[in-house]
């Protein structure tokens, strides 16, 4: 993050504008960018300030869950309803200018998944529960549905492109709602690992996981290069 910010600071304004959408030369302030000032979250640099802000909320969430003890799941019902509603109906197209409140549902989905895993694991150990064949089949069916739903959103209508019936730009997802699908998929894989977990243990994918944030910050230097940016088809760009 710091290296990208310093590199941008050294680059001419033309490149700041092209790659990180800085509108005016005076809009880029290195100190305020490095200290996560909310008005200096230039394009892909928006994530860290929001993550740090959520860390101040996380202890309160954990404290409430601990206070509820064995009734922790009661609060999760309305929370999941709210998270799903926010994911489906909240538009987050100007995400690098939006406050934490617009993304709070995403963070909560991950936190709730972590609690569900911890509670399920503790219950399995205390009761000596063993997964039978039907249990495993049921989990795999749910997992397959979650993966299919996740991919259908991530690929933004690619299936329709294959059919020769591409979606209109207005039908494309601006910022896909994937947090619930992905977080519950993680819970299933941690409780009852499958081939999916084995695949993600490959050395190449583990390495990509370590450098994923760096790739995220740097990929704009590829997709905003003029020859690629001028491509009209979204999938030709990616």
Both tokens of 210, joined, read 């370590």
CA distance linking residue 153 with residue 177, whole number of Å: 7
Number of domains forming the structure of the chain? 2
Q: Considering only residues 117 and 169, tell me which one the structure prediction assigns the higher pLDDT.
A: 117
pTM for the model: 0.78
In the predicted structure, residue 164 carries a pLDDT above the cut 80:
no
In the predicted structure, residue 67 carries a pLDDT above the cut 50:
yes
Task: Render 97-123 in DSSP notation, one character per residue.
Answer: GS-GGGTHHHHHHHHHHHHHHHHHHHH
Neighbours of 14 (CB within 10 A): 9
CA distance linking residue 207 with residue 71, whole number of Å: 39
Residue 18: the pLDDT is 86
For residue 156, is it within any domain? no
Both tokens of 218, joined, read 């740097």
In the predicted structure, residue 218 carries a pLDDT above the cut 60:
yes
What is the average pLDDT score of the chain?
A: 84
Residue 166 pLDDT grade (very low, low, confident, very high; cuts 50, 70, 90): low
Decide: 209 and 201 in contact? Cβ < 8 Å: no
For residue 26, is it within any domain? yes
CA angle at 181 for the pair 57 and 143, rounded to the nearest 5°:
135
In the predicted structure, residue 39 carries a pLDDT above the cut 90:
no
Decide: 184 and 191 in contact? Cβ < 8 Å: no
Both tokens of 29, joined, read 């302030």
CA angle at 212 for the pair 8 and 186, rounded to the nearest 5°:
145
Residue 171 pLDDT grade (very low, low, confident, very high; cuts 50, 70, 90): very low
For residue 223, is it within any domain? yes
For residue 106, is it within any domain? no
Residue 114 pLDDT grade (very low, low, confident, very high; cuts 50, 70, 90): very high
Residues sharing a CB contact under 8 Å with residue 93, sequence separation 6 or more, in sequence order: 174, 175
Residue 68: the pLDDT is 92
For residue 12, is it within any domain? yes
In the predicted structure, residue 165 carries a pLDDT above the cut 70:
no
Both tokens of 78, joined, read 């309305």
Q: Considering only residues 50 and 162, tell me which one the structure prediction assigns the higher pLDDT.
A: 50
Residue 144: the pLDDT is 92
For residue 178, is it within any domain? no
In the predicted structure, residue 175 carries a pLDDT above the cut 60:
no
pLDDT average, residue stretch 9-16: 90
Both tokens of 229, joined, read 């940016």
For residue 171, is it within any domain? no
Residue 24: the pLDDT is 87
Range of the domain at 1: 1-40
Decide: 40 and 33 in contact? Cβ < 8 Å: yes
In the predicted structure, residue 169 carries a pLDDT above the cut 70:
no
């Amino acid at each position: 993050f710091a290296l990208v910010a310093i590199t941008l600071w050294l680059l001419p304004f033309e490149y700041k504008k092209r790659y990180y959408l800085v509108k005016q030369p005076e809009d880029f302030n290195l100190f305020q960018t490095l200290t996560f000032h909310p008005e200096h979250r230039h394009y892909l640099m928006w994530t860290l300030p929001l993550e740090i802000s959520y860390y101040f909320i996380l202890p309160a969430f954990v404290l409430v869950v601990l206070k509820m003890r064995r009734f922790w799941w009661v609060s999760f019902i309305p929370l999941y309803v709210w998270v799903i509603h926010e994911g489906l109906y909240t538009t987050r197209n100007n995400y690098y200018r939006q406050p934490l409140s617009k993304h709070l549902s995403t963070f909560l989905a991950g936190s709730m998944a972590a609690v569900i895993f911890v509670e399920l694991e503790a219950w399995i150990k205390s009761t000596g529960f063993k997964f039978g064949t039907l249990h495993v089949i049921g989990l795999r069916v749910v997992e397959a549905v979650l993966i299919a739903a996740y991919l259908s959103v991530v690929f933004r209508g690619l299936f329709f492109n294959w059919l020769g019936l591409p979606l209109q730009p207005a039908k494309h997802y601006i910022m896909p709602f994937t947090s619930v699908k992905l977080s519950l998929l993680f819970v299933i894989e941690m409780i009852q690992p499958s081939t999916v977990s084995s695949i993600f243990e490959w050395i190449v994918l583990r390495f990509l996981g370590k450098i994923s944030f760096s790739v995220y910050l740097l990929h704009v230097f590829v997709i905003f290069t003029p020859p690629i940016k001028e491509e009209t088809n979204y999938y030709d760009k990616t």
